[in-house]
A and B are shown apart, each in its own frame.
Chain A
Amino acid sequence: MNVLPLYAQLINLFAALLLLLAFAMLAQRRVLTLINLFAAQGLSLAASTAVVAFGTGQAHLYWSAGLTLVLKVLLLPWILHRLIRKLDVKWDIERLINVPATMLIGIVVVVFAFNLAVPISQLASTVTRSTLGIAMACVMLSFLMMITRRKAIPQVIGFLSMENGLFFAATSATYGMPMVVELGIALDVLVGVLILGVFFFQIREQFDSLDLRHLEKLKEGE
């Protein structure tokens, strides 16, 4: 059994943690814990990016690791914490239907993503190529989370965690995107969350709740 260098082992560990956190978010009922899990996912993403930077000597990855740390571990969770405090949904519990069934669908999604990633990762030459499957699985799990949630805030967290997965995919397939693109995406995400925060208030004012089912009706008063 040939042993990988330590940094590659660490990358694998953080990748596995990322996948685990994606599943934890899929099953989490409390909004507050969901935000903390999102912050933890950001932290493990930043750590893995930093380890990739250290292992491969790509200096620009340090910047993106720092950017991830500031944006996804500190700034976005802070904004979200403030939002749920202002919206007074801090202790909100979302009733999820059938967590075990969702988990099983999640496992199927992961198998699908892993199979999808194998031919792509064989083309890549990076150290991190085998983690591409995990990145794709994270993207799809976040997608699944957005499908199964009804409330607005968990949907936005699902969207943000999907971005985490995409970022990880970029790191594992090509050692990250160019700096300009990364900065652009970071700004987009930040502005997106700010705008969605305004939307939350509008939705609640209109329908007295943050349940997105109300948005599915086209006419008023049915």
Chain B
Amino acid sequence: MTAQALLSQLVQVALALALAPLLVGWVNQCRAWLSNRSAPPLTLPYRTIRKLFMKDAVVATRASPLFRLTPYVVFGAMCCAAAIVPSLATDLPFGVAADAIALVGLFALARVFIALAAMDIGTAFGTLGARREMFVGFLAEPALLMVLFTASLISGSTSLPSIVDTLAHRELAIYPSLAFAGVAFTMVSLAENARIPVDNPATHLELTMIHEAMLLEYSARHLALIEWASALKLFNYSCIGLALFFPFGIAQGSDDWLAIALAVPVLVAKLAAGGFALALIETASAKMRIFRAPEFLGTAFLLAVLAMLVHLLLGS
């Protein structure tokens, strides 16, 4: 481990923290354009976070320490995930600490804590949201694992940086298994990030909320951290998707500063395209009933398993 590798690791996490709210702002802007509304400014998520940090926190009288602790745990888990996912360079000192399966575990940790905190206060909506979140989560997780297993099988390793290294260096060929896995991953990301076919991030109707229902009791800095963490989650998922299925432009090794400097605009361009695609999907589809979610995620699981089986059978 060199000092340079450590520095590239730090740059990557800092970039994730800085860019995550921008990505959310960009997606919101694209959604507004696509539905013919005047768009909110791109920096709105930053301002919201700043505003929330300056307010005084209000906590329910019956709240346990778990309720106060949760925003920090969730934010920490997402920062850890941002350190593992190779978004700029593949030589990550921290990447040795956790592989793709541990990454899914990190996401699960955040989910469990936020669900427990939602149940902690004992309001009806918090409990309802927590149950729905776990319901969606237990269906999405196996599909996500299967997608990562497919990528691991192709590259022969479960460590994300080496998967991306292998995928970026293979010869150009048609990989039906990767195509299936890509579609499955998109579906899982939509469900996990509370986007439209499963959940509506902009809803104010309590009965259809999933993610928002769990946050109703949070305010000020706690809410700011959770909002930032969900932006980071979207950023992380986008980066995993981009790294697995479009691994071009990611710097190999950390000795070359020029490569890392070049990887930044490439990443921003890819994220902009990905954010626009997300807004397009969200505008084109309608939110479905919560009881259709098993079918949606079942399809994602099916596609991921098919990807793995097709890879095993055809070797491509």
Q: Are B310 and A27 in contact (CB under 8 A)?
A: no
Residues of chain B within 8 A of A130, CB atoms compared: 313-315
Report the minimum CB–CB distance from B247 to chain A (whole Å): 15
Q: Are A107 and B310 in contact (CB under 8 A)?
A: no
Tell me, yes or no, whether A218 is within 8 Å of chain B by CB. Answer: no
- Per the bound structure, the CA–CA distance linking A117 and B309 in Å amounts to 13
Tell me, yes or no, whether A13 is within 8 Å of chain B by CB. Answer: yes
Residues of chain B within 8 A of A103, CB atoms compared: 298-299, 302
Report the minimum CB–CB distance from A171 to chain B (whole Å): 15
Residues of chain A within 8 A of B179, CB atoms compared: 16
Q: Are B298 and A111 in contact (CB under 8 A)?
A: no
Tell me, yes or no, whether A114 is within 8 Å of chain B by CB. Answer: yes
- Interface digits, A9-34 against B, CB 8 Å rule (1 contact, 0 not)? 11011011101100100010000000
- Interface digits, B290-316 against A, CB 8 Å rule (1 contact, 0 not)? 000011001100110110011011111
Residues of chain A within 8 A of B315, CB atoms compared: 130
B176's contact among A12, A23, A114, A133, by CB below 8 Å, is which?
Answer: A12
Residues of chain A within 8 A of B171, CB atoms compared: 1, 3
Q: Are B306 and A20 in contact (CB under 8 A)?
A: yes
- Per the bound structure, the CA–CA distance linking A203 and B298 in Å amounts to 35
A window 104-143: CB within 8 A of B = 104, 106-107, 110-111, 114, 117, 130-131, 133-134
Report the minimum CB–CB distance from B302 to chain A (whole Å): 5
How many A-B residue contacts, CB cutoff 8 Å? 64
A100's contact among B298, B309, B314, B316, by CB below 8 Å, is which?
Answer: B298
Report the minimum CB–CB distance from A126 to chain B (whole Å): 14
Q: Using C-beta atoms within 8 Å of the partner chain, give the interface range for chain B.
A: 20 to 34
Tell me, yes or no, whether A99 is within 8 Å of chain B by CB. Answer: yes
A134's contact among B298, B299, B303, B313, by CB below 8 Å, is which?
Answer: B313
- Per the bound structure, the CA–CA distance linking A143 and B174 in Å amounts to 30
Tell me, yes or no, whether B124 is within 8 Å of chain A by CB. Answer: no
- Per the bound structure, the CA–CA distance linking A23 and B315 in Å amounts to 21
- Nearest chain A residue, comparing its CB with the CB of B139: A100
Residues of chain B within 8 A of A1, CB atoms compared: 170-171
Residues of chain B within 8 A of A215, CB atoms compared: none
Q: Are A110 and B174 in contact (CB under 8 A)?
A: no
Q: Are B176 and A107 in contact (CB under 8 A)?
A: no
Chain A: residues with Cβ within 8 Å of the partner, total of 28
Tell me, yes or no, whether B60 is within 8 Å of chain A by CB. Answer: no
Q: Are A110 and B306 in contact (CB under 8 A)?
A: yes
Tell me, yes or no, whether B258 is within 8 Å of chain A by CB. Answer: no
- Per the bound structure, the CA–CA distance linking A100 and B180 in Å amounts to 18
- Per the bound structure, the CA–CA distance linking A155 and B314 in Å amounts to 30
Report the minimum CB–CB distance from A177 to chain B (whole Å): 23
Q: Are B180 and A114 in contact (CB under 8 A)?
A: no
- Per the bound structure, the CA–CA distance linking A99 and B313 in Å amounts to 25
Q: Are B314 and A107 in contact (CB under 8 A)?
A: no
- Nearest chain B residue, comparing its CB with the CB of A117: B313
Tell me, yes or no, whether B3 is within 8 Å of chain A by CB. Answer: no
- Per the bound structure, the CA–CA distance linking A23 and B300 in Å amounts to 12
Report the minimum CB–CB distance from A113 to chain B (whole Å): 10
Tell me, yes or no, whether B1 is within 8 Å of chain A by CB. Answer: no
Q: Are B174 and A107 in contact (CB under 8 A)?
A: no
Report the minimum CB–CB distance from B213 to chain A (whole Å): 25
B302's contact among A4, A15, A106, by CB below 8 Å, is which?
Answer: A106
Q: Are A12 and B314 in contact (CB under 8 A)?
A: yes
Report the minimum CB–CB distance from A138 to chain B (whole Å): 12
Q: Say whether, besides A9-B316, A114-B309, A16 and B299 are in contact (CB < 8 Å).
A: no
Residues of chain B within 8 A of A3, CB atoms compared: 171, 173
- Per the bound structure, the CA–CA distance linking A9 and B179 in Å amounts to 13
Report the minimum CB–CB distance from B156 to chain A (whole Å): 10
Q: Are A9 and B174 in contact (CB under 8 A)?
A: yes
Q: Are A16 and B170 in contact (CB under 8 A)?
A: no
* 10 A–B contacts, CB within 8 A, in A order: A1-B171, A3-B171, A12-B176, A12-B314, A20-B303, A23-B306, A103-B302, A107-B302, A110-B306, A114-B312
- Apart from A16-B176, A99-B295, A107-B305, list 17 A-B contacts with CB within 8 A: A1-B171, A3-B171, A3-B173, A12-B310, A13-B176, A15-B176, A17-B176, A20-B180, A20-B306, A23-B302, A23-B306, A27-B295, A27-B299, A99-B298, A103-B299, A111-B309, A133-B313
B residues near A, CB below 8 A?
170-171, 173-174, 176-177, 179-180, 294-295, 298-299, 302-303, 305-306, 309-310, 312-316
A residues near B, CB below 8 A?
1, 3-4, 9-10, 12-13, 15-17, 19-20, 23, 27, 99-100, 103-104, 106-107, 110-111, 114, 117, 130-131, 133-134
Give the 10 A-B residue pairs with the shortest CB-CB distance, closest first. A16-B176, A100-B298, A9-B174, A12-B314, A3-B171, A133-B313, A103-B302, A13-B176, A3-B173, A16-B310
